[in-house]
Amino acid sequence: METLRMVTVVAPVNIAVIKYWGKRDENLILPLNGSISGTLSTNQMCAKTTVSFSRNFTRNRIWLNGVEETFENRRLINCLNEVRRRAKEQGKISPEELEYNVHICSVNNFPTAAGLASSAAGYACLVASLSKLYQLDGDISSIARQGSGSACRSIYGGFVEWIAGDKNDGTDSCAVQVVDSNHWNEMRVLILVVSENKKKTGSTAGMQTSVATSELLKTRVSQVVPKRLADIKQAIYNKDFKTFADITMQDSNQFHAVCLDTYPPLVYMSEVSHAISDLIHQINEEAGKTIVAYTFDAGPNACLYLLEEHVPLVLAAVNHVFPTTQNADTYFTGIPVTLDSQLEKKLPKIVERTPWDPNALRYTVHTKIGEGPKELTAADHLLGANGHPTPM
Ligand code: DP6
């Protein structure tokens, strides 16, 4: 049997602090505005993908989380075609190999059902693994962008900007690192997964309706985002948490205001999401300074950015207001935390609040800013020597 050429990569999730919402080109996935996100450590959440090609593969095939999916997916095909086009140009792969079919096997280590940014990690992982298989040089974020816009930011670690670009062919629309993952080493992220299973309009369809109907989106793109991008980058360079947090919360709020200004309106935040936002403002007020920021994507889950020193207090406050009946290891995952036992002394007004009924939150994840995609060794391959998924 021939030895298959095979590559396995893990890639991170990213959470935007300046949101991408609205495209100027649907097929190339070109955004109306630039955006900035933090890349999260793959230790807690990641996608993992193995890719291989062979003369013996009779067709292109893809397995996601153990289930074979159709390859008839325009975004998937666009990514593969662009990788092959560049591989042909760069000439490291033989013309025969460029014709071989591929097998792709991918898994997420976090529940996709939770509505966490799984497409960003998934497409970043797909493109990073294919790019290694086809030995591509140069920036690959503009390929990942063609899978899912936000995926281009998962190609780099630290804080990352997706430059909107203005060319029609999209060649100037790619991600660049603002600072690496060590620059603001104290930064932590708490993800609060809200219990709610209502089907929401996906990002792709939602943003189309916003572009077609929201006046506020036009103002946001032309008048608001450019200054915010410049200001939040400066705050990140200076490790100025207050400015970073204010802009992050304001931008999340404006994104959801655009959603409500869309017609018919897009309602992504739930009652619990609003209660979390309210709690964060109360914590900052009682603490006498801004110690934590929230941001919400196209769903009800909250993502909190905060510094390491404040995690014990903020998490104690969250746990007080949103109690759980679950046991600790299924409810809380990620970097261990010893809760602050002085909650009552430090944030007395929060302790006086009547807690929510138990289990408004499904689970919480504690993570930090991390690095971009990483190649793993043969021990991690998800495809066996025959090119088919190994049992999970
Ligand atoms: C609210 O990248 O999922 O998370 O490009 O259509 O695949 P497509 O959309 P997607 O949109 C993400 C929107 C967001 C904001 C953000 O991540 O910047």
The finding on whether 35 has its CB within 6 A of some atom of ligand 1 is yes
Report the C-alpha gap between 10 and 129 in whole angstroms. 8
Q: Is the CB of 248 under 6 A from ligand 1?
A: no
SS3 220: helix
Pocket mutation for ligand 1, best pick of 14, 18, 20 (most atoms within 8 Å of C-beta): 20
Residues of the chain with CATH 3.30.230.10: 5-184+374-380
For 279, the enclosing helix (H) or strand (E) is: helix 271-287
Q: Is the CB of 177 under 6 A from ligand 1?
A: no
Cβ atoms within 10 A of the Cβ of 349, count? 10
Residues 6 or more apart in contact with residue 290 via CB below 8 angstroms: 241, 242, 245, 246, 284
Architecture of domain 5-184+374-380 in this structure: 2-Layer Sandwich (3.30)
241 lines ligand 1 (CB under 6 A): no
Q: Which residues pair with 201 in a beta bridge?
A: none
In angstroms, the first-to-last Cα distance of the chain is: 24
3-state DSSP: the chain helix, strand, coil percent, rounded to 5?
40, 25, 40
Protein residue closest via CA to atom 1 of ligand 1:
297
Q: What's the rounded Cα separation, in Å, for the pair 101 and 97?
A: 9
**So what's the pLDDT on residue 35?**
98
For residues 125 and 117, give the distance between their C-alpha atoms in angstroms, rounded to a whole number: 13
Mind listing the pLDDT tens digit for each residue in 284-302? 999 999 999 999 999 999 9
**What pTM was estimated for this model as a whole?**
0.97
- Residues 133-170: tens digit of each pLDDT: 999 999 999 999 999 999 999 999 999 999 999 999 99
- What's the CA-to-centroid distance between 349 and ligand 1, angstroms? 37
Q: How far apart, in whole angstroms, are the C-alpha atoms of residue 215 and residue 354?
A: 39
Say if residue 264 is preceded by a cis peptide, omega within 30 of 0: yes
For 83-109, letters b (16+ CB in 10 Å) and e give bbebbeeeeebeeebeebbbbbbbbbe
Instruction: Count the alpha carbons within 13 Å of 209 in the hemisphere toward its beta carbon.
Output: 15
11-26: per-residue pLDDT in tens? 999 999 999 999 999 9
Atom of ligand 1 nearest to the CA of 117: 4
Q: For CATH 3.30.70.890, list the domain ranges present in the chain.
A: 187-368
| Distance in Å, CA 21 to ligand 1 centroid | 7
Q: Which residues have a Cβ under 8 Å from the Cβ of 146 and sit 6 or more positions away?
A: 28, 29, 75, 78, 79, 82
pLDDT at 112: 59
Asked whether 149 lines ligand 1 (CB < 6 A), one says yes
Give the number of the atom of ligand 1 that is nearest the alpha carbon of residue 19: 18
With 90 as the cut, is the pLDDT of residue 2 above it?
no
Q: Which fold has domain 187-368?
A: Alpha-Beta Plaits (3.30.70)
DSSP state of 303: E
Give the nearest ligand 1 atom to 120 CA. 2
Whether the per-residue pLDDT at 204 is higher than 90: the answer is yes
Question: Closest Cα to residue 112, out of 174, 64, 184, 68?
Answer: 64
Ligand 1 centroid to Cα of residue 242, in Å, is 25
79 pLDDT more than 80: yes
> How far does the centroid of ligand 1 lie from the alpha carbon of residue 211, in Å?
14
Cα radius of gyration (the chain): 21
Ligand 1 atom index nearest CA of 202: 3
Name the strand (E) or helix (H) holding 320.
Answer: helix 311-321
Burial of 80 from C-beta contacts in 10 A (0-12 / 13-18 / 19+): buried
ipTM: 0.99
